[in-house]
Chains A and B, each alone.
Chain A
Amino acid sequence: MTQAATRSRRARRTGPHLLSAGVLVGALAMAPAALAATQIVGAGSTFDFPFFSKAFYDYTAKHPDVTVNYQSIGSGGGIQQFTARTVDFGATDVPMNAKELARAKGSVLQLPVTLGGEGIAYNLQGIAKGMRLTSEVIADIYLGKIIKWDDPAIAKLNPGMKLPDMKITVVHRSDGSGTTYIFTDFLSHVSPEWQQKVGTGKNVQWPAPSSIGGKGNEGVAGLVKQTPGAIGYVELAYLLQNSMTYAEVQNKAGKYLYPAENTVAAAAATKPDVSATNFSIVDTPCAECYPISGYSWVLLYQKPQDPARGKLVKTIMTWLVTAAQPIAKTVDYVPLPENVQQRALGVLAKTEL
């Protein structure tokens, strides 16, 4: 055999070995770094995700030895994982009810962490932002009783607008969601017919014959943007970030309001004694209140299994409901009012560590 052949034969034998040795050394080098940081795991509501994502990133920047891994799998998934104790905290748009609490392995603390408002977006060529809609009209549209945009009920509220003779395509959430819960809660409050026919829930049987479903807030926003004559309910953050046209909704006091930080916060302020059993802030009576608003909640066990981790989670949550609230503004979420922050801190104080 020639010298070159011998050398290449040896190289062929040692090459793979060198490679695997290198990979092993690299993995070992990374392992200590990964072990040093504590990772807190949470799961739940997709609504919270943009806010949590930014807040926890900022937290890790200030405390490099702690990372928070939040899985945005939906409120129901969050409750399931929390009940199974596979996560340190859960997040949900609708607090756990009595049946779900009974299934949890221990006493549960539920604290409000952020606020959201839902706007009514629409897609009509030539019609700018600011169509006025009353709660009854919105309910009738979603019930399928008002089917065209130039219906007298809508035209009466918007005398200056040239409404087209177009069918209204109603868009709803196809996936079960807290956003739907808040919206149907609002409709149940303002329309006895809706309350009786459909009811409140994370997912309902949508009665309008032209109703189509989109997955997630992004899905609804996308469908409304794509479909001329569409109307849909979307979280405030998505409305603002997608520059959508949305309506002014009339509140209980008779004033037409946009969903915005101040109007949603005003709605929250009407219920200073908010708790997991008394959390609905839709259709509130004050003058500057936006009628379609709601809280989002974090779930914690009163007695955490691991006291050290429990303490860390408590510290993070304390930071989240107080110092982290200004971060909410930067991602178009509404910070908790001062009194609600105090209530959240009060709930946190009940942890048995």
Chain B
Amino acid sequence: MSERTATAAPPAGIRPRSLRQLDRVAAAIFAASLRGSCWVFLLVVAGLAAELVWGARLSLRTFGIGFLWSSQWNPVTEQFGAAPFIYGTVVSSGIALVLAASVGILAAIYLAEFAPRRLGIYLGLLIELLAAVPSIVYGLWGLFVLAPVVTTWIGPALQASFGFLPIFQGTIYGVNMLTAALILALMIVPTITAITRDLIAAIPMRQREAALALGATPWETAAKVVLPAVRRGIFGACMLAFGRALGETIATTMVIGNRPVISASLFAPGYTVASVIANEFTEATSDLYLSALIELGLILLVVSLLVIGLGRLMVRLFIR
């Protein structure tokens, strides 16, 4: 009994003067550290961008704006161009996003709306576990399991049914743009599913009950009442996932074929910015070579910011 009263804090409002001052100082420090951490982060990113520009200056000077659409990548004659890498990055991530968004959103709707509660929890957990798998494991699985599957089943099937489309023509290599897009899709599905499911779960039951009361089927409720309400959030989740796919290095480099070409076919090998930097950075001993790789990194940063910025702009203009 005595112990309890000895350690109890004085009632709120009746504090000695020194404690109040201490409170104010503590509050000020807390606010400053919060603001500070925000600014530190922004400064680090700005410093990163500045460092990239500084490192790329030789390449920027030598190749100028033509670097963006040149398809040459010749370390021997030191002719470098970014076009195949930008193409590879954007196409593989774009296709991955389309695949992941379609599967992920539907999965999230199922988990949040239709699945029995227990099953929903366990399935959701399993999907989130996918996000915890290291990318090199995805890369190894992609190389040894998915690539042969694409070569023997998925590729020929697509070519047989849709072979008239230029994206499904040509020789089917195991390591190609399609395999890379599939692996990336697998890696970003958990992000989209988890975020979408939480968003959907946050919609109050009353809206669903109202829709059902008006005679809507569960499917109509999900499609016309729930989904539109979370459109903005889903878009945000997709942008997040796209950003992750743009920067994914190891898993992509193991399954994309590492060939700096732009080809119409999805079955042809490709190359992404992150892969080429990871592959060639340690052996790039000449200054121009190194500078060209750093410029590629700068381009990736700019492309990521542009795409995500555009996404947010679209959300603001068109959604709600």
Task: Decide if B75 touches A205 in the complex (CB within 8 Å).
Answer: yes
With the chains together, A210 CA to B278 CA distance in Å? Answer: 22
With the chains together, A267 CA to B58 CA distance in Å? Answer: 41
Interface residues of A in 196-220 (CB under 8 A from B): 198-206, 210-215, 219
Task: Decide if A201 touches B76 in the complex (CB within 8 Å).
Answer: yes
Partner of A226, one of B1, B144, B253, B282: B144
With the chains together, A76 CA to B287 CA distance in Å? Answer: 12
**Contact residues in B for A213 (Cβ distance below 8 Å):** 257-259, 269, 271, 279
With A174-B258, A176-B279, A212-B257 as given contacts, are A100 and B285 in contact (CB-CB < 8 Å)? Answer: yes
B175 within 8 A of A: yes
With the chains together, A215 CA to B281 CA distance in Å? Answer: 13
Q: How large is the interface on A (under 10, 10 to 19, 20 to 34, 35 or more residues)?
A: 35 or more
Query: Which A-chain residue is minimally distant from B144 (CB atoms)?
Result: A226
Partner of A174, one of B77, B143, B171, B253: B253
Task: Decide if A200 touches B76 in the complex (CB within 8 Å).
Answer: yes
**Contact residues in A for B77 (Cβ distance below 8 Å):** 199, 205
With the chains together, A176 CA to B279 CA distance in Å? Answer: 7
Task: Decide if B147 touches A203 in the complex (CB within 8 Å).
Answer: no
Task: Decide if B74 touches A175 in the complex (CB within 8 Å).
Answer: no
Task: Decide if B279 touches A212 in the complex (CB within 8 Å).
Answer: no
Convert B252-289 into 0s and 1s, putting 1 for each residue whose CB lies closer than 8 angstroms to a CB of A.
Answer: 01100111000000000101000100111011111000
Interface residues of B in 55-99 (CB under 8 A from A): 72-77
Task: Decide if B258 touches A203 in the complex (CB within 8 Å).
Answer: no
B138 within 8 A of A: no
**Contact residues in B for A223 (Cβ distance below 8 Å):** 143, 174-175
**Contact residues in A for B254 (Cβ distance below 8 Å):** 215, 219
Partner of B282, one of A1, A77, A100: A77
With A213-B259, A213-B279 as given contacts, are A79 and B285 in contact (CB-CB < 8 Å)? Answer: yes
With the chains together, A99 CA to B257 CA distance in Å? Answer: 33
Task: Decide if A199 touches B76 in the complex (CB within 8 Å).
Answer: yes
Task: Decide if B283 touches A174 in the complex (CB within 8 Å).
Answer: no
A37 within 8 A of B: no
B149–chain A nearest beta-carbon distance, Å: 11
Task: Decide if A73 touches B282 in the complex (CB within 8 Å).
Answer: yes
Task: Decide if A203 touches B75 in the complex (CB within 8 Å).
Answer: yes
Task: Decide if B282 touches A175 in the complex (CB within 8 Å).
Answer: yes
A110 within 8 A of B: no
Partner of A205, one of B73, B257, B279: B73
With A1-B3, A212-B269, A215-B254 as given contacts, are A226 and B74 in contact (CB-CB < 8 Å)? Answer: no
Task: Decide if B173 touches A227 in the complex (CB within 8 Å).
Answer: yes
Task: Decide if A205 touches B280 in the complex (CB within 8 Å).
Answer: no
A135 within 8 A of B: no
**Which of A1, A75, A201, A203: most chain B CB closer than 10 A?**
A203
Task: Decide if A76 touches B283 in the complex (CB within 8 Å).
Answer: yes
Query: Which B-chain residue is minimally distant from A100 (CB atoms)?
Result: B285
Convert A157-195 into 0s and 1s, putting 1 for each residue whose CB lies closer than 8 angstroms to a CB of B.
Answer: 000000000010100001111000000000000000000
Convert B2-46 into 0s and 1s, putting 1 for each residue whose CB lies closer than 8 angstroms to a CB of A.
Answer: 011000000000000000000000000000000000000000000
17 example contacts (A-B, Cβ-Cβ < 8 A) are as follows A76-B285, A80-B285, A174-B279, A176-B282, A199-B77, A202-B75, A203-B283, A205-B77, A212-B269, A213-B269, A213-B271, A215-B253, A215-B278, A219-B254, A223-B143, A226-B175, A227-B174
> 3 closest pairs, A vs B, by CB?
A176-B283, A213-B258, A74-B282
Told that A176-B282, A223-B143 touch, could you supply 15 new A-B pairs with CB distance under 8 A?
A: A74-B283, A75-B283, A99-B286, A100-B285, A167-B171, A176-B284, A177-B283, A198-B76, A213-B269, A213-B279, A214-B258, A215-B253, A215-B279, A222-B143, A227-B173
